[in-house]
Amino acid sequence: MEQKERKSIKGIRIQNASIIMILISCLIYILLILATVRVSEKYEDVHHSMDDYIAWEEGEALLTEGSAYLTEQVRLYVVTKDTRYRERYFMEVHVTGRREQALRQLEEHDGGEEAYKYLEGALESSNELMAQELYAMKLVSAACGEKAEKLPEMLQEIVLEPEDQALSPEKMLEKAQTIVFGESYQKVKDKISQDVSDSLASIHAMTHQNMLESADELAQTMNGQGRMISVLFVQNLLIFLMIILLIVKPLRNFVRCIKEDRMMEVMGSYELKYLAMTYNDMYEVNMANEAMLRYQAEHDPLTGIINRGAFEELKKVFQIKKIPLALLIVDVDKFKDVNDGYGHEAGDQVLKKVAELLQDGFRATDYPARIGGDEFAVLLTNMTEEQKSVIERKIGRMNEILTHPEDGLPKVSLSVGAAFSKDGFTEDLYKKADLALYEVKEHGRCGLSFYQNT
């Protein structure tokens, strides 16, 4: 039955709740770690986008600078015919190489398909422009009468058109200036500038879009982090409340119940409810054992009424409690003859019968006791001498039953001495009742005598 009650206990199991909370915490922490990694990745994306944009801006500026420098040097050479400008031109092409640096730098960074398209257009225009510049420089060198083998290798590879070879030096110089200062040359220059500008605009738009997307994802991820932190906060509150309601509060209640020596209230988690029910079972068993031991210590094992020890404790109580009472000392007449003639078992039955008569014959507030072998005593509370007739009638009735047995037991009778007190159990009350008992025995037994002051 108790096992069934244990199985029917309803409540939150601390072990299960702890496992669930740990799993939830681990899941949230994993999600937080993933979100943190995601934030880091988005930050890296933004950083890389900015790096790419800056690199493209720097590269295209370098490309523009290199192209402008070449234009400047070729124009100066065509106008002044000073070979130092030509040398600077080829120094830029072969040594400084800002255009090549720009190309290498741009290849290392992602600029998007559209930006590459504009860049390729700028490079094609730049190469076209360079071809015109080399042809113009070839015209100038031919007009100046320079030997071909002394020219830079790139100029040596340039072959003038037959009609240009037939021109006079002045016409060659004029045509060279027309090439580098003419409208077609400037259109190519403008196309290069426009392609570079469009390329920068494209990379700027792409970078801006990437940053917006990254910023949006970053905001969403951080919002997710905030929600998960809020969940952790709520979870911690739940854990705190669970500890208070399911553990701390029940334990405090259990401690109070133990101090007050009473059964525990069944409350809290499943484990504590189980503990409380187990404790209560043990408490009930212990109380029952204590009650049984106390009963055994206070009651006569044969008759079931209180024994001499309990009677002595009652005397002490009524020595303090000053109420009117009467004391009866009762002897079973010729009880030894019963034991000798009928045996001890019959004698025990007689004693039990006498105890039952004394217990049933008086009130629940009176105290019959077995104080010796065949000697009994009865404390009658709130009893005065005006009620002697009540006592006489009760004792008479008992003797009537004992002297006319219908249960097969031997015939016996009671000799009873009685004494009254108005102030509780006085020191001489027992002596007075005993003297009254002696008076009954002197006059033939089977009767009642009250102590009389003489």
pLDDT tens per residue across span 354-395: 999 999 999 989 999 999 889 999 999 999 999 999 999 999
Task: Flag the least confident range among 88-97, 104-113, 155-164, 227-236.
Answer: 104-113
Distance in angstroms between the alpha carbons of the first and the last residue of the chain:
68
Mode of pairing for the β-strands spanning 447-450 and 375-381: unpaired
Average pLDDT (111-128) is: 76
Q: Supply the pLDDT for residue 128.
A: 84
Q: Would you say 305 and 358 are in contact if contact means Cβ atoms under 8 Å apart? A: yes
Give me 137's structure tokens.
């420089």
Crossing angle of helices 113-143 and 14-80, in 10° steps, is: 20
What residue has token string 């159990």? 425
Cα 307 from Cα 332, distance rounded (Å):
16
Inform me whether the pLDDT recorded for 144 exceeds 50: yes
Closest CA to 324 of 417, 391, 421, 418: 421
Cα 383 from Cα 327, distance rounded (Å):
9
Give me 163's structure tokens.
């009609």
Q: Supply the pLDDT for residue 399.
A: 93
* 3-state SS record for 413-426: CEEEEEEEECCCCC
Amino acid in the structure at residue 243:
I
Greater confidence (291 vs 278) lies with 278
Q: Residue 159: which residues within 8 A CB-CB, separation 6 or more? A: none
Phi, psi of 158 (to 5 degrees): -80, 130
Q: Where are the alpha helices (DSSP H) in 9-94?
A: 14-80, 83-91
Inform me whether the pLDDT recorded for 48 exceeds 80: no
Q: Would you say 195 and 118 are in contact if contact means Cβ atoms under 8 Å apart? A: yes
Of 374, 407, 423, 434, the active-site residue reads: 374
Q: Supply the pLDDT for residue 170.
A: 92
Q: In the predicted model, what is the mean pLDDT of the chain?
A: 84
Chain centre distance of CA 298? 54
Query: Is 434 one of the catalytic residues?
Result: no
Cα 74 from Cα 161, distance rounded (Å):
20
Q: Would you say 327 and 433 are in contact if contact means Cβ atoms under 8 Å apart? A: yes
**Confidence category of residue 269, pLDDT binned at 50, 70, 90:** confident
Q: Supply the pLDDT for residue 49.
A: 66
Cα 320 from Cα 314, distance rounded (Å):
10
8-state DSSP, 370: E
CA distances from 145 to 77, 129, 163, 263 (A): 15, 24, 17, 126
**Confidence category of residue 308, pLDDT binned at 50, 70, 90:** very high
Cα 416 from Cα 436, distance rounded (Å):
8
Q: Would you say 402 and 414 are in contact if contact means Cβ atoms under 8 Å apart? A: yes
Greater confidence (102 vs 156) lies with 156
Closest CA to 379 of 392, 393, 362, 395: 362
Inform me whether the pLDDT recorded for 291 exceeds 70: no
Closest CA to 430 of 378, 391, 373: 378
Inform me whether the pLDDT recorded for 401 exceeds 90: yes
**Which of 1-5, 8-12, 143-147 has the highest average model confidence (pLDDT)?**
143-147
Q: How many CA atoms lie within 13 A of 349 on its CB side?
A: 13
**Confidence category of residue 451, pLDDT binned at 50, 70, 90:** very high
Q: Would you say 18 and 246 are in contact if contact means Cβ atoms under 8 Å apart? A: no
Inform me whether the pLDDT recorded for 420 exceeds 70: yes
Q: Supply the pLDDT for residue 1.
A: 43
Q: Supply the pLDDT for residue 106.
A: 66
Average pLDDT (2-11) is: 59
Average pLDDT (105-120) is: 69
Phi, psi of 306 (to 5 degrees): -65, 150
Q: Would you say 270 and 9 are in contact if contact means Cβ atoms under 8 Å apart? A: yes
Q: Supply the pLDDT for residue 56.
A: 67
